Each structure stands twice: as C-alpha cells, then as structure tokens.
Amino acid sequence: MIVSKSKIRIRYDEVDKMGYVYHGNYAKYYHISRTELLRKIGICDSSMETYNILMPVVDISIKYLNPIFYDEIIVIKTIMLSIPTSRMKFSHEVYNQKNEIINKAESTVAFVNIDTRKPIRPSKIILDKIQSYIETQNY
C-alpha cells in the first residue's frame, strides 16, 4: 500500500561481541523507518500528540535471516499494510549493501488516547492524510 525506504549506517555501539548487529536494535530500525513513512504522508509523532494520540508498538515479529556488521549501510523497506482502524500494521524488510534480504518483520502500533491510555480510532485528519497520499500516488 504505502511504501517507504530508509538508509542507516550501522554504528559500532550497535554490534555485539560477535560483530553482528545486536538483535534488539532491529526494533529501533523499524521505528525509524515507520516514522519516516508516516512523515512522508504528513504525520509525525509531535503532531499526533497535539491530537492527544500516542502510538505504542503492541506487536512485533521478526525473522532473522542473515547478520549485519559494523559500518554496513542497510535499507529498511517499510510498508503500511492497510488503512488503519484502532491499529496500524506494517511489514519491514531489511537489505544489506548487496541488496540481500537480512530479515523480515511485521509490527503493529495502536492508537491510544494520551490521557486515558485507552485504544481509540485514528482521527479524521490522520485518515484524510493517508487517503490523500494514496490518491496522489495513483495506487
């Protein structure tokens, strides 16, 4: 549906003693790519907060296929899988410099009221921005 790609250079502090990117860092990479996808369509974390909305991750599933090493440049391809309801689902694919797939993941964020911390549906403004972006891309 909506696709975004983000490039990241692996820093020394992100690798473990084996020289591999520590597995917990992938959630950070998905967050970066998911944030950039939303920014691309006009939604950013600070604007969500002005609408009293938070978007915590409620589910993440990762399939590790190959390691990534220090100083490599990776590309994270993130896809918004559907128009959000009270949740928004994404798929992620990480590629190395040789364009080989490193891992695949799916993540889900929920729309939550900032005060009550209860699930809510996205505001019309958010849905309109998503729909407008889709229409301009001729999906």
Return the SS3 of 117.
coil
Task: Report the alpha-carbon distance of residue 26 to residue 9 in Å, rounded.
Answer: 13
Residues facing residue 96 across a β-bridge: none
DSSP codes joined into one string, 21-56: BPTTHHHHHHHHHHHHHHHHTT--HHHHHHTTEE--
Phi, psi of 96 (to 5 degrees): -90, -175
Closest to 97 in 3D by CA, of 70, 135, 121, 118: 70
Tokens of 6: 């983000």
Low-confidence ranges of the chain (pLDDT < 70): 138-139
Q: Provide the whole-model pTM.
A: 0.91
Phi, psi of 54 (to 5 degrees): -115, 160
pLDDT at 138: 66
Amino acid making up residue 126: I
pLDDT at 33: 97
Closest to 19 in 3D by CA, of 93, 71, 77: 71
pLDDT at 47: 85
Task: Report the alpha-carbon distance of residue 86 to residue 83 in Å, rounded.
Answer: 10
Closest to 25 in 3D by CA, of 12, 35, 36, 38: 12
